[in-house]
Amino acid sequence: MGIPLKQAAKIGSYVVKQHLTGVKRYPLVLMLEPLFRCNLACAGCGKIDYPDDILNQRLSYDECMQAIDECGAPAVSIAGGEPLLHREMPKIVDGFLAKNKFVILCTNALLMSKKIDQYKPHPNFTWSIHLDGDKAMHDHSVCLDGVYEKALDAIKLAKSKGFRTQINCTLFSNAIPERVAQFFDLMMEMGLDGITISPGYAYERAPDQDSFLNRDRTKKLFRDILSRGNGGKNWEFTQSSLFLDFLAGNQAYECTPWSMPLRCVFGWQKPCYLLGEGYVKTFKELMEDTE
């Protein structure tokens, strides 16, 4: 696995502490979307479909710090929209690091070369660059030619400056297991610190509703992919092997929506990052009043 020992140990001790103190529902990762504005219009997303008065909203630095203090999660994943469009993002990242949190900053990499010097390498900080497969797959996913090459350039730039760097890869119904496996091989050859993979989730605002995977197709796709990489052992995934097992259909789990709470410009999303049934103002409300 591509999870650093320090991170695994800290999160492990955090989990043990929750159990010892009798806390049954606790977050592992704060999913933070400080803005919905993006410089891409991916067919599988739909975030930029919101009207301008919403796209122009931003969570402030103070609101972001309040969110991590409220929930107490040991890690935060910052997405969007495109986080690098947020003028306070370097300050927000530094604020989380000062609180000794693990920070994953997700980006489509279009602004990396312009913005990267606003950030400093840190053992708790990771760039997570959006790459949904090889050139044809990724450029089709983001609906713009040339983005794949810019993402590769961004990976090389980040690694040259000493940053911990991974990719996040979302797969849709057009994914071909052999090509995905070859893509993962290439990513490892580039010296990446890890890969996160996920099926595309059917966001209701996404303009392309036909490319999302159902559960049966998800199982078959990920079984085929992982079998080509010696069960995934050939690649460094920064995800639990339990999740990879779930994707391949080898495990079934009860839902734990509180493990990845989402804070965005609307508030705390009920019940979790992937399901939208309304919003509340505080994390306490989310935990106590959500069915």
Query: pLDDT per residue over 43-68, tens digit each?
Result: 777 677 889 999 999 999 999 999 99
Phi, psi of 92 (to 5 degrees): -65, -45
| 38-52, 102-116, 156-170: least confidently modelled range | 38-52
Residue type, 166: Q
Q: Which residue has better confidence, 5 or 120?
A: 120
Residue spans per domain, the chain:
5-289
Nearest to 234 by CA among 186, 197, 276, 267: 186
Degrees, nearest 5: CA angle 96-30-171? 120
CATH topology of domain 5-289: TIM Barrel (3.20.20)
Contacts of 210 (CB under 8 A, 6+ apart): 173
Query: pLDDT per residue over 193-218, tens digit each?
Result: 999 999 877 555 555 556 667 888 88
CA–centroid distance for 156 within its chain: 20
| Mean pLDDT of the region 19-45 | 92
Cβ 248 vs Cβ 232: under 8 Å: no
Q: Which residue has better confidence, 154 or 205?
A: 154
Measured CA to CA, the distance from residue 211 to residue 194 in angstroms comes to 26
What pLDDT was estimated at residue 192? 95
